[in-house]
Structure 1
Amino acid sequence: MKHLKLLVYGDVNLNIMDGSSVWLAELLRLLASDPRVELDFLHKAPDQGGPLNEQVRAIPGINRIEKHPRPMKPEQVVEAIRSLDAEHRYDRVFVRGNIAMGKELIKLLPGRLAYYTLEPFQRLGELTGQEKAEIGEMLSRTAFAVVQSERMRTSYSREFGIPEEHLYILPPLIPPILKNPGFRNRLNSLCYTGKFSEEWGTPGLVDTFKRLKELLPYAKLNIAGNKFHGDLGGRKNDIETFFANDESVNWVGVVSRQESIQLSRNSDIGFALRSNLIDNDDSQELSTKLFEYMSAGKPVILRATKVHRALMGEDYPLFAETPEQAAEKCAKALTDVALYSQAARMSYDAYKRFAKTVNHGGIVERLLQGQKTTILFAGHDLKFLTDTINAYQEDDNFQVLIDQWQGHTKHDETESLAKLEQADIIFCEWGLGNIRWYSHHKKAGQRLVVRIHLQENSQPQYLKEADREKIDRYIFIAPYRYEEFVEMHDLPRERAKLVFNTVHVEKFNLPKHPEAQYTLGFVGIVPWRKRFDKALELFDKLWHKDHRYTLRVKGKLPEDFPWMKTNPNFREELALYDGLYKKIKQAPWCNNVFFDGHGNDMPKWYRKIGYIVSTSDFEGSHQAVAEGMASGAIPLMLPWAGAETVYPKEFVFSDVEEMVGFVMEKELEVDNTSYAYEHFYHEAIVRQLRTQCEMMV
């Protein structure tokens, strides 16, 4: 299984709660939840307790590293990462920082650094052409750069000349949605959680609330956070005093993210009116805190920037540009039931729309990109997978392992366990003992696929005893078998897919020999259900009408299988075959029946065949018919269950007499290859199989 040795550093202090530190804690939880990740986390500052540090300490699987007794300066961060990488040689180093830090780190980690920086957007209007070129050069040398949205990716690509595929979208790490919110004002309260700074609108928050109190003296303000940035326009002391002493303010300080979310849910309006230096029409950033309010079904006060209008809707009623506007809109919403409900529903619906577009799980896959994916093929008979196995072996992005079973249940368990440890994808060919074993041993992070043929029909116990919750895909080779097994085992249709077997059509599409127009072909007379006796009956009737007809048989004979001779259960079947041999020897057409033996010369053999015969009692898909059609032979099939769902109905006959009539009345037209190309062409089928193997569930 893929393994990622990862170092994470965020240039934020977990001792102080704000949106960035909450984001970092959530990112660590997300990364550590993947069993393929071996995670080292470098602290910016030593752990001084508090809810965010407690949250990180509680995450299993993280090696927390502290390098300095005080918050690290940028040059100390670079040196710490350099020394850690020299010791551990990480596969990837994921860093959130500024432009200057990125320029230094890329010198140490070209091609291995995954970098997330919002500074280019925050400074976009002031960057010179030279600075943009330097930022583009730095980000282009990373393994990939992280952005927050599609619009941000487009902007980074345009402004810094970075290919969009080099920019990975990691949306805000959003909270779970509250089910069935009330959409009504309960406590007349405004809420803010996060850092306190002029850019983040803290002075405006105070001015908004003071004006709101003039309009609604009973209004309340709930605040979480303890991180003050700068002097807040010369008002830091006054603001801190106001938070601490005003009886209408509930300042809870630093709390866990869960407590922060709960505070938002216990309030009525979220405050997200940041300064126009942060939120403007050039900005692409969406605040994590904004989503905490929205997920709870709370209306939010925020600027009408392009990104906010796209998120909330052009007619959202609580956009504001100044503290005065914000206070007036808050007062109106808190006293107008219909307006409050409208704004709350628009906020909640916008969050639901956004949440549907979010997929955080892909970040680990992107970090793993560049490592080979290991695919393990397991089963007793892999011949129908040759094309797929070859395709993976030729792909430099994959490592192929084979677990060759000796029978339906017989295998070397030690070898299977060793290969299981290495596998990212497990492909069980046939749903027999292999799928039962692998489904009970599959590990988190692995993908398990099983392909079902026909034997499973008579031995359903293996699928019944498998841990079906661990099976990600069931692949069937014929529509009839798909329906049969889905019903028999009550399989989830969303995990069941139809993919035909492969045929190298171009290898079989060779010129026919002249005798082909009078030659029947039959592949594999064992076991008895193949009904070679009916093929002989067909041949006998045709020969008596025209002595030019011949029958050619390809494949092993009963006597070539030792177990048929030694197993008493097959005595009766062997006797039936002996009877057929005697019939052939005594028939006037004995010299027109040829046993061509077993071999891998099928394309050459099919050049002699004008008609491919399938008289089985039942089949999965009968590969010989597909190969025969690829060669241009005409199928002659009795109606085994599902035959018409795989092959053209015109070649399925009710009985031998109808077959004879068809052959005698129809001129041989050797032109069935188009159907084979359309349905069985190996390159197309392999692509379909690979999609099912490689796609995320």
Structure 2
Amino acid sequence: MREGAVMSRVVRALVYGDVDLNLIDGSAVWAQSTVQALSLAGCETRLVLKAPVRTGRLTDPLAGLPGVTVVRPAEERLVDGQRGRPLSPVQASRLLARLDREEACDLLVLRGRRLVGQVVADGHFGGRIWAYLTDIPQSAATMTEQARAELASIAVASRRLLCQTEELRCLLETWVPEACGRSVLCPPAVPEPSFEVPCRDQPHDPLRLVYTGKFAPLWNTLPMTQLPSLLARRGVHVELHTVGDKIHDDPAQPGFRDAMFRSLHGGTPGVRHHGGQPREEAMRIAAACDLGLGWRDPLLDSSLELSTKVLEFGSLGLPVVLNRTPAHEALLGVGYPLYVDGRAGPEDAAAAIARAARDPGARRLAVDRCRDAAGRYTLEAAAARWRTHLDQAFPPAPAAVTGRTRPLRVGVAGHDLKFFTRILDHLRALPGLDVRVDAWPALAGHDPAASRELADWADVVIVEWCGPAAVWYSRHKRRGSRLVIRLHRFELDAVWPRQVDIGAVDQVVCVSPYYARRTLEHTGWPAAKVTVVPNWVDADQLDRPKTPGAQFRLGMIGIAPSRKRLDLGLDVLQTLRARDRRWHLSVKSQPPWQYWWIWNKAEERAHYDAILRRVQTSPLLRGAVVFDEFGADVAGWLRRVGHVLSTSDDESFHLAPAEGMASGAVPALLPWPGADEIYDRRWIHDGPAAMAEAIAALGDPATWRAAAGLARAQVRESYALDRVTAAWTDLVTG
């Protein structure tokens, strides 16, 4: 393992982007920086090129990196019929499969929706794809059912979906439930300059503007060439320096390519074009300038991507003129001084440049904001993110299974594995374990032959829920195997625990101390056979920045059946709104009428009828309660929530407060039995009035953030996914 790597074993990556690395733009730079970051993270990486190498500006710096190999299909004649042309998605998919057969990879990092779709369709890399997708529909109007279905197929076949921004990740999870739990952040990465960056106290005369990248209509590269003359009329003398050799041929603007070429090469006054350059040389040219240009057409204002060039300029201490957009405000702050209104045309950009030229304070503030932003997107930071992702995906072999002559055989059985998914993913990822699943199609329905085969095969069987499956496996346990049953809550009131042959059971797992005690009281089982392993919380997935106004929004997840007590949540909201009308409540739940076993009960229907009437008629509640669609996109939903309520009559664990805590929301619970053994007593209140009082006391933003930080730290310490999977690993392999 190379210095700096922390992974437990060498991980082998194949990297391919549907991009031409001869042309320097954001997508080509992505390929280079991804390989650099993977190398820093300790990966052995093969970068496969799409096109024949005409310039080594991006590939040459990779040649000497530890563990990196650049595969050149054209030069190595790996693909029949390529003949100097770029690979098509079909050719690329077949070549990647061939390279994998020759030397298997652990992960395949891909960029480009058409390419990823082809690789998924070919089916060779199922479960090993790490797909980086930016070219996806980024609005409701463009997210067709066909596009959604295609993205769902990609998500199911992928180990991870790499999202450039939080906004892109949340959009993907909202439209594609299959992406939830698989999507991780993978923002752009910029290298630290390898040369001394000049001091910017005194700008050049004339002022030097710089643009690097592709030349395209929506990037305003043609209007940029007008800036020297426009600014001359304002008494500001400037030069425009441009770097790049990729000029788009846009069918919608047939004259653009020729006009752009003439402006760059035809001696336009004040324009100095440096052509295509290696990335480091382009950075040197930019560093010798005073102001970067990231000004674009307003059609791009809704983009959910980050501009690599803005970050690269920031790493050089170079302030950037760019459009005011939500993404840029999140990156640089609302008060950044060099925003332009993209709709106003070149004059607005000229005004911002003139401000930078004449106002040293504005220029200094812009420099500081851009430099600080870039500091969060270094290659070292990218490598650290990759290490985290890879350590989670490729955990070390448990000590208990090392030295075995064959893998430990683990069977998982049950009718509903939704609470076990991430534990199952972890067990499958562990070296030295062979994991199979007996998925019962119904609570009491299964294929006895398949279950018998699993029971005879497995060294360890885990049964999720103490229901009919637990009864069956306790009566068909193979001699010498181990049987672990996880009991939740509803099973205690049913007949199944009494039907289980406890003598055949090695361990019963409960999710809380209270329900472990109830289980012992109810069943009389030996205390040594009952243990507590809490529910897991994917703290990394849930820990996302809050949206504006989140502090004044309550959240409830799951309101059916009536014992969840939405009515008490409304009491809390009503009390808060009597003081401050900013308070709102968001409810994320399946409606109760979609559960037939609930809606068949007259008392349940009456409960919800009263609640809905109250929401519609109460002056304090009307318009303040939002019922959001039930779905897997809890992490994105929680970004809008500052306080998560648990007002139930009873719960076995109640995951919602823990998920809220991981998201940076403050929990508020009523004292249902066992709550104080799961959650800190400071979050538990005697009734709705006390709950409202405690929430109102966190009205100061700093006080609320401090409480949220404490809650986040607590849930990570007790219920973070890695801690819970470690406990299950010990349970299975011990």
Of 229, 237, 257, the residue aligned with 1:218 is 237
Other-structure match for 2:24: 17
State the Cα RMSD in Å: 3.9
> 1:184·1:340 contact (CA, 8 Å) conserved in 2?
no
> Could you say if the C-alpha distance between residues 61 and 317 of structure 1 is closer, same or farther in structure 2, counting changes exceeding 3 Å?
same
CA distance, structure 1, for counterparts of residue 367 and residue 73 of structure 2: 46
Match of 1:118 among 134, 142, 155: 134
Look up the match of 2:336: 316
Relative to 1, partners in 2 of residues 1:50 and 1:40: Cα closer, same or farther, differing over 3 Å?
Answer: closer
Point out where structure 1 has 5 or more consecutive residues left out of the alignment.
378-393, 402-505, 508-682
The letter of the residue matching 2:350 is A
Show the counterpart of 1:234: 255
What residue number does 2:166 align with? 150
CA distance in 2, matches of 1:346, 1:92: 36
Preserved CA contact (<8 Å) 1:268 1:298: yes
- Find the counterpart in structure 1 of residue 213 from structure 2: 194
Deviations 1:567-599 (A, max 9, x none): xxxxxxxxxxxxxxxxxxxxxxxxxxxxxxxxx
User: What's 1:306 paired with?
Assistant: 326
Deviates more, 1:110-119 or 1:250-259: 250-259
Alpha-carbon contact 2:337-2:366 (below 8 Å) kept: yes
Q: Deviation at 1:180?
A: 9.2
Partner of 1:337: 360
CA distance in 1 between counterparts of 2:363 and 2:106 reads: 50
1:266 matches 2:291: no
The aligned amino acid for 1:92 is L
* Contact 1:9 1:41 survives alignment (8 Å): yes
Change (3 A) 1:202 1:138: same
Give the residue type in structure 2 aligned to 1:196: F
Q: CA deviation at 1:158?
A: 1.0
Task: Indicate whether 1:55 and 2:61 are aligned.
Answer: yes
- Aligned pair in 2 of structure 1 residues 353, 115: CA closer, same or farther (>3 Å)? closer
| Matches for 1:626-641 after TM superposition, within 5 Å | none
Q: CA deviation at 1:345?
A: 2.8
3-state SS of the aligned residue for 1:52? coil
Aligned residue for 2:182? 166
Is 1:292 aligned to residue 291 of structure 2? no
Answer yes or no: is 1:40 the counterpart of 2:40: no
For residues 53 and 379 of structure 2, the distance between their equivalents in structure 1, rounded to whole angstroms, comes to: 35
Deviations 1:316-350 (A, max 9, x none): 22111122200121123212323322332333344
Do the aligned partners of 1:175 and 1:291 also contact (CA within 8 Å) in 2?
A: no
Q: Summarize the Cα distance change of 1:176–1:112 in structure 2 as closer, same or farther, 3 Å threshold.
A: same
CA distance in 2, matches of 1:399, 1:161: 29
Q: In percent, how many aligned pairs have the same letter?
A: 27
Q: Is the 8 A contact 2:11 2:44 kept in 1?
A: yes
Deviation at 1:192, TM superposition (A): 0.5
Q: 1:275 aligns with which of 284, 294, 297?
A: 297
Aligned residues: 400
1:103 matched residue in structure 2: 117
Q: CA separation in 2, counterparts of 1:223 and 1:213?
A: 19
- State the shift of 1:265 in Å: 1.7
Counterpart in 1 of 2:102? Answer: 87
- Would you say the 8 A contact 1:183–1:344 is kept in 2? no
**3-state DSSP of counterpart to 2:210:** strand
Task: Note if 1:255 corresponds to 2:277.
Answer: yes
Shift of 1:145: 0.8
* CA distance in 2 between partners of 1:3 and 1:305 (Å): 41
Question: Are residues 398 and 133 of structure 1, via their aligned partners in 2, closer, same or farther at CA, if it must alter by over 3 Å?
Answer: closer
Q: Which runs of 5+ in 2 are unaligned?
A: 1-7, 75-83, 401-425, 434-526, 529-718
In structure 2, how many angstroms separate the alpha carbons of the residues matched to 1:207 and 1:138?
44
> In the alignment, is the contact (CA less than 8 A) between 2:106 and 2:128 conserved in 1?
yes
* TM-score normalised by length of structure 2: 0.49
Is the CA contact 2:152–2:179 (under 8 Å) kept in the aligned structure 1?
Answer: no
Shift of 1:85: 2.9
Matches within 5 A, 1:559-574: none
SS of residue in 1 equivalent to 2:54 = coil
Kept in 2: contact 1:185–1:340 (CA 8 A): no
Could you report, residue by residue, the CA deviation over 1:152-173 in whole angstroms, capped at 9, with x for unpaired residues? 2112111222444211211111
Aligned to 2:397: 374
Read off the aligned partner of 1:24 and give its amino acid letter: A
Q: In structure 2, how many angstroms separate the alpha carbons of the residues matched to 1:201 and 1:124?
A: 26
Shift of 1:267: 0.9
After superposition, the Cα gap between the structure-2 partners of 1:688 and 1:186, relative to the gap in structure 1 and judged at 3 Å, is farther
CA distance in structure 1 between the aligned counterparts of 2:38 and 2:171, rounded to whole angstroms: 27
Contact 2:228 2:269 in 1 (8 A): no
- The reply to whether residue 71 of structure 1 matches residue 89 of structure 2 is no
Residue in 2 aligned with 1:575?
A: none
- Post-superposition CA distance 1:478-518 (Å, at most 9, x none): xxxxxxxxxxxxxxxxxxxxxxxxxxxx87xxxxxxxxxxx
- Compute the displacement of 1:247 (Å): 5.2
Does the CA contact (< 8 Å) of 2:296 and 2:323 recur in 1? yes
Partner SS for 2:348: helix
Higher Rg: 1
Secondary structure of the 1:284 match is coil
